[in-house]
Amino acid sequence: MKASDVMNREVVIVSGGASLEDAARLMVQHRISGLPVVNDQGTVIGMITEGDLLKRAETGTAHRASWLAAFVWPGRVAQDYVRSHARKVDELIDGDVISVTPDASLAEVVAIMESRRVKRVPVIDGGHLVGIVARADLVKALAKLIPGSGAAPAVTDAQIRERFLKEVDGQSWTPRVAVDCEVKDGVIDLHGLITDERMRPALRVIAENTKGAHRVRDHLVCIESISGAVVSQGSDDEHAAA
């Protein structure tokens, strides 16, 4: 999927010359945590977010720098003063425009959100703002893609087992030669040896996501890789599949 598939095309924006009061009012009115900031030509010049409005003199949350900080880092202290006393939107933004194109993959969007620690990314095409992707948009896309409980074509137990083992084979962390399963009436029974307890829920997730599976039972045995001593055994409890 691409950014254009999940982005919100009705973007609430704010002018760089607008007051912070106007920006705050827009966020509250539209229940959003950030706004793209545009100049007189409509070009995106940055973002203003709730985080930019947290440390303010009006609410008594502004950071008070020590004399030592003012002596060692006068520029940083001056910058903090601007953030807590500024009156206009463009006084808070740094001009670093973080954006993606409509063709950007969702993997790229998520990578930017994580690396730049932002919750929403403007989508720009040919210099024009065409949408915005927020974390909520990604969650909505996920909700549509997660397999539901609706009717599905009948699948044989042999096909379920084949699908499970194929997915296991495709993972680099799975102890394929030591793990197997039995399938009867759509119920997957996991058998075999694992050397790390974290593999247990991962293998169970593979089974739960196998098309045609109804339930999963865990009989896996976790052993210490060097001594072969048993660390833990599956509880045999059933887990519902997708």
Same domain for 110 and 18: yes
Q: Tell whether 137 and 49 lie within a shared domain.
A: yes
Same domain membership, residue 69 and residue 105: yes
Which CATH number do you get for residue 233? 3.30.1340
Q: Can you give the CATH number for the domain in which 90 is found?
A: 3.10.580.10
Residue where a domain stops, chosen among 145, 166, 200: 145
Pair (90, 14) in one structural domain: yes
CB 204 within 8 A of CB 239: yes
Q: What's the confidence (pLDDT) of residue 100?
A: 95
Tell me: do 164 and 137 sit in the same domain. Answer: no
Does the residue 150 lie in any domain?
no
pTM score above 0.85:
no
Round to whole Å and give the CA distance between 110 and 153: 34
- Category of 86 on φ-ψ map: left (φ > 0), alpha (ψ -120 to 50) or beta: beta
d(CA 216, CA 197) in angstroms, rounded, equals 17
Q: Give residue 43's pLDDT band: very low, low, confident or very high (50, 70, 90).
A: very high
87 shares its domain with 174: no
| Nearest CA among 9, 35, 44, 42 for reference residue 131 | 9
Residue 50 above 80 pLDDT? Answer: yes
Using pLDDT thresholds of 50, 70 and 90, give the confidence band for residue 46: very high
206 with 98, same domain: the answer is no
Give how many domains the chain has, as a whole number: 2
Cα 85 from chain centroid (whole Å) = 33
Confidence label for 62 from pLDDT (cuts 50, 70 and 90): low
For residue 231, the enclosing domain spans 157-240
Give the three-class secondary structure for 143. helix
| pLDDT tens string 165-177 | 999 999 999 887 8
Which residue(s) pair with 121 in the sheet?
A: 133
Residue-wise pLDDT for 93-105, tens only, equals 887 889 999 999 9
